[in-house]
Structure 1
Amino acid sequence: MSNGIESIFKPYLEPKEAYKGGKNIPVSDKKIYKLSSNENPLGASPKAIAALKKAAENVNLYPDQTDIRLREALVNDFDNQLTVDQFICGNSGSEIIDMLLRAFISEGDEVIYSNPCFLPYSVFSRWYGAKPIDIPLLKPNYDLDMEGILNAITDKTKVVFLTSPNNPTGSYIPKAILDDFLNRIPKNIIIVFDEVYRHFADAEDYVTALPYVKSGNNVIAINSFSKTYGLAGQRIGYCYTTAVIANYIRQIHKPFLLPITSIEAAIGALNDVLFVENTVKTVHDGKAYLTREFDEIGITYWPTQGNFFIVDPPIPEFDFADRLMEKGVMVRPVSQFGAPGKVRITIGDQESNEALINALKK
Structure 2
Amino acid sequence: MKKNIESIFKTHLAPKEVYQGGKNIPPSNKKIYKLSSNENPLGASPKAMEALKAAVAKIDLYPDQTDIRLREALVQDFDEKLSADQFLCGNSGSEVIDIILRAFINEDDEVIFSNPCFLPYSVFSRWYGAKQVDVPLLAPNYDLDVEGILNAINEKTKVIFLTSPNNPTGTYIPKSVMDDFMTRVPSTIVVVFDEVYRHFADAEDYVTALPYVLEGHNVIGLNSFSKTYGLAGQRIGYGYTTATIANYVRLIQKPFLLPLTSIEAAIGALHDSEFIAETVKTVKEGRSYIAQVFDELGITYWPSQANFFIIDPPFPEMEFTDKMMEEGIMVRPVSQFGAPGKVRITIGNQEANEAFSKALHKVMLP
Q: TM-score, normalised by structure 2?
A: 0.98
In structure 2, the residue matched to 1:267 is: 267
Q: Which amino acid aligns with 1:346?
A: T
Cα offset for 1:213?
0.2
Structure 1: 5+ residue runs without aligned partners?
none
Q: Which amino acid aligns with 2:229?
A: Y
Q: Distance in 1 between matches of 2:136 and 2:123?
A: 16
Is the counterpart of residue 163 in structure 1 residue 163 in structure 2?
A: yes
Cα offset for 1:266?
0.2
Residue 310 of structure 1 aligns to a residue in which SS? Answer: strand
- Percent identity among equivalent residues? 75
Q: Which amino acid aligns with 1:254?
A: K
Residue by residue, what CA displacement relative to the aligned partner does 1:150-178 show, whole Å, maximum 9, x if unpaired?
00001100000000000000011000000
Cα offset for 1:53?
0.6
Q: Distance in 1 between matches of 2:156 and 2:96?
A: 22
Q: Distance in 2 between matches of 1:307 and 1:178?
A: 22
Residue by residue, what CA displacement relative to the aligned partner does 1:69-117 show, whole Å, maximum 9, x if unpaired?
0000000000000000000110000000000000000000000000000
Residue by residue, what CA displacement relative to the aligned partner does 1:305-359 show, whole Å, maximum 9, x if unpaired?
0000000001000110000000000000000000000000000101000101100
Residue 251 of structure 2 aligns to a residue in which SS? Answer: helix
Q: Distance in 2 between matches of 1:259 and 1:187?
A: 35
Q: How many residues align?
A: 361
Residue by residue, what CA displacement relative to the aligned partner does 1:210-235 show, whole Å, maximum 9, x if unpaired?
01000000001110000000000000
Q: Distance in 2 between matches of 1:35 and 1:220?
A: 29
Residue by residue, what CA displacement relative to the aligned partner does 1:183-219 show, whole Å, maximum 9, x if unpaired?
0111100000000000000000000000100000000
In structure 1, the residue matched to 2:8 is: 8
Q: Distance in 2 between matches of 1:29 and 1:236?
A: 33
Q: Distance in 2 between matches of 1:25 and 1:139?
A: 33
In structure 1, the residue matched to 2:19 is: 19
Residue 37 of structure 2 aligns to a residue in which SS? Answer: coil
Q: Distance in 1 between matches of 2:52 and 2:193?
A: 29
Superposition pairs of residues 1-362 of structure 1, within 5 angstroms: 3-362=3-362
Q: TM-score, normalised by structure 1?
A: 0.99
Q: Distance in 2 between matches of 1:195 and 1:231?
A: 16
Structure 2: 5+ residue runs without aligned partners?
none
Residue by residue, what CA displacement relative to the aligned partner does 1:237-274 show, whole Å, maximum 9, x if unpaired?
00000000000000011100100000000000000000
Q: Distance in 2 between matches of 1:57 and 1:298?
A: 53
Q: Distance in 2 between matches of 1:205 and 1:178?
A: 10
Residue 160 of structure 1 aligns to a residue in which SS? Answer: strand
Residue by residue, what CA displacement relative to the aligned partner does 1:18-64 show, whole Å, maximum 9, x if unpaired?
10000000011110000000000000011000100110111000000
Q: Distance in 1 between matches of 2:7 and 2:296?
A: 59
Residue 38 of structure 2 aligns to a residue in which SS? Answer: coil
Q: Distance in 2 between matches of 1:260 and 1:3?
A: 44
Q: Distance in 1 between matches of 2:86 and 2:229?
A: 21
Q: Distance in 2 between matches of 1:207 and 1:274?
A: 23
Residue by residue, what CA displacement relative to the aligned partner does 1:287-311 show, whole Å, maximum 9, x if unpaired?
1111111101111100000000000
Query: Which ranges of 4 or more aligned residues in structure 1 deviate by more than 2 Å?
Result: none
Q: Distance in 2 between matches of 1:234 and 1:185?
A: 35
Cα offset for 1:7?
1.6
Cα offset for 1:142?
0.2
Q: Which amino acid aligns with 1:174?
A: P
Q: Distance in 2 between matches of 1:104 and 1:62?
A: 30
Cα offset for 1:3?
3.3
Q: Distance in 2 between matches of 1:241 and 1:226?
A: 20
Q: Distance in 2 between matches of 1:4 and 1:76?
A: 55
Cα offset for 1:5?
1.6
Q: Which amino acid aligns with 1:280?
A: V
Cα offset for 1:4?
1.8
Q: Distance in 2 between matches of 1:260 and 1:348?
A: 29
Q: Distance in 2 between matches of 1:130 and 1:235?
A: 26
